[in-house]
Amino acid sequence: MSFSPEQEELRATVRSFLDRHSDEAAVRRLMETDDGYDPAVWNLMGTQLGLQGLYIPEEYGGSGFSFAELCLVLEEMGARLLCAPFFASAVLAASALLESDDEEAKKDLLPGIASGETIATLAYSNDSGQPDGAVTATSTPAGYTLDGSRHFVLDGALADLILVVACADAGPSLFAVEKGADGLTPTRLPTMDLTRKQADLTFDDTPARLIGAEGSADEVLQRVLQLACVALVNESVGGARAVLEQATTYAKERLQFGRPIGSFQAIKHRCADMLVAVEGSRSAAYHAATVAATGDGQLAVIASLAKSYVSEAYFSVAAENIQVHGGIGFTWEHPAHLYFKRAKSAELLFGDPISHRELLAQRFGL
């Protein structure tokens, strides 16, 4: 597949924005903060470029691009390890609302997400990362209340709006909870990947707004998680590209035994294998982005295929990058570990490679 001139232009715009606002120094500064993002840059992203609303239709305050453009932007963000609640808000929360059948909620909530004024996230997983049980919803005359806990919520401690999957009488349902709601307690988690924050959330008689019909969240969540996998693998392609470039640049510059280390076959072959992995990842990720954008029925299959292949590939190239750099690659000062940790967190998010291969096997009736 190839990108249109408009898409390439978007890529160039996002790249130069990230060059200015998400260089390594910015990443290191932000990753050490609690919330892990720069509100001023977040604002600029919304007002100058409209990135948060990129794939939200115009009628809800977005700019109406397709999921493919969102993926392309994520690839650039992944290459620069942008520290921002973008994935949580513009991917997870936005698609959860868009996939819901709730016109009113879309009209109410999407414009804020699109402009960046609202930072939103999705809370669906239990402490094994599975989307089940754990939170119950009770219907009262005054509305719904939630009880229980959700784990590993991306940017969960900072989000203004949390979309929660909870079990109501009619089954899994989607709810909206606002920051600071009664009985909502966020706990920041100490993440390995400091560039992407996570939190546990507990709900104790917490007032919540039902989104869509009671019992309708199963299908929504399945589809949102497939889209999340597609988005994440495109982000990962950016990171994989970046480490391949770091490794090859270093292999050409670093001299040992009077020669560039890249002239040793052991290193040359490692770099070549990295290239193979990155090219395979691009094929899988770009195709998945197209499938997600055109809404063709293959999404479940390609999402699992891509998640399994790309997250393993990203991890392996990020690890190889450390090896190619030798001792320097093992230091805090070198960016290699930032990508390595991002790759590990991406591998474990939304189902690890083994679980996606299991899904495929089941789908194929094996």
Q: Which parts of 44-63 interact with other proteins (CB under 8 A)?
A: none
| DSSP secondary structure letter of residue 35 | S
Interface map 296-325 toward ligand FAD (x if CB under 6 A)? ---------------------------xx-
And the tokens for 305? 């295929």
**DSSP-derived secondary structure letter, 125:** -
CB of 309 to other proteins, least distance (A): 16
Output the six-digit token pair for 130.
């599975």
Q: What are phi and psi of 192, to 5 degrees?
A: -70, -45
User: Which CB atom, from 40 or from 266, has the smaller least distance to ligand FAD?
Assistant: 266
Interface mask (CB under 8 A) for other proteins, residues 201-240, using x and -?
----------------------------------------
Q: Which of 141, 180, 327, 365 binds other proteins (CB under 8 A)?
A: 327
Place of tokens 């879309």: 106
Instruction: By CB under 8 A, tell whether 256 contacts other proteins.
Output: yes
**Contact residue for other proteins among 198, 236, 281, 308 (CB under 8 A):** 198
Given phi > 0 = left and psi -120 to 50 = alpha, else beta, which region is 60? alpha
Nearest CA among 36, 68, 38, 43 for reference residue 54: 68
Smallest distance, Å, CB 219 to ligand FAD?
A: 48
185, β-bridge pairs: 202
132 token code pair? 């089940």
Measured distance CA(128)–CA(111) in Å, rounded: 33
CB 361 within 8 A of CB 304: no
Cβ proximity to ligand FAD, 39 vs 326, nearer residue: 326
**Could you say which residues in the range 347-366 bind other proteins, by CB under 8 A?**
347-349, 352, 354-355, 357-358
Instruction: Return the number of the residue (138 or 191) whose C-beta is nearest other proteins.
Output: 191
Q: How far apart are CA 71 and CA 172, in angstroms?
A: 28
| Three-state SS sequence of 194-217 | CCCCEEEEEEEEEEEEEECCCCCH
Torsion of CA 240, 242, 247, 252, to 10 degrees: 140
Q: How far is it, in rounded angstroms, from Cα 74 to Cα 52? A: 11
Q: Which of 163, 231, 267, 310 binds ligand FAD (CB under 6 A)?
A: 267
Work out how close the CB of 273 gets to other proteins at its nearest, in angstroms, rounded to a whole number.
13
Contacting range for other proteins; rule: CB under 8 A; set: 67-75, 135-143, 239-247, 346-354: 346-354
Binding site for ligand FAD (CB under 6 A): 254, 256-257, 261, 264, 266-267, 323-324, 326-327, 330
Binding site for other proteins (CB under 8 A): 125, 127-129, 151-152, 189-194, 198, 255-259, 261, 264, 266-267, 319, 322-323, 326-327, 329-334, 336-337, 340-341, 344-345, 347-349, 352, 354-355, 357-358
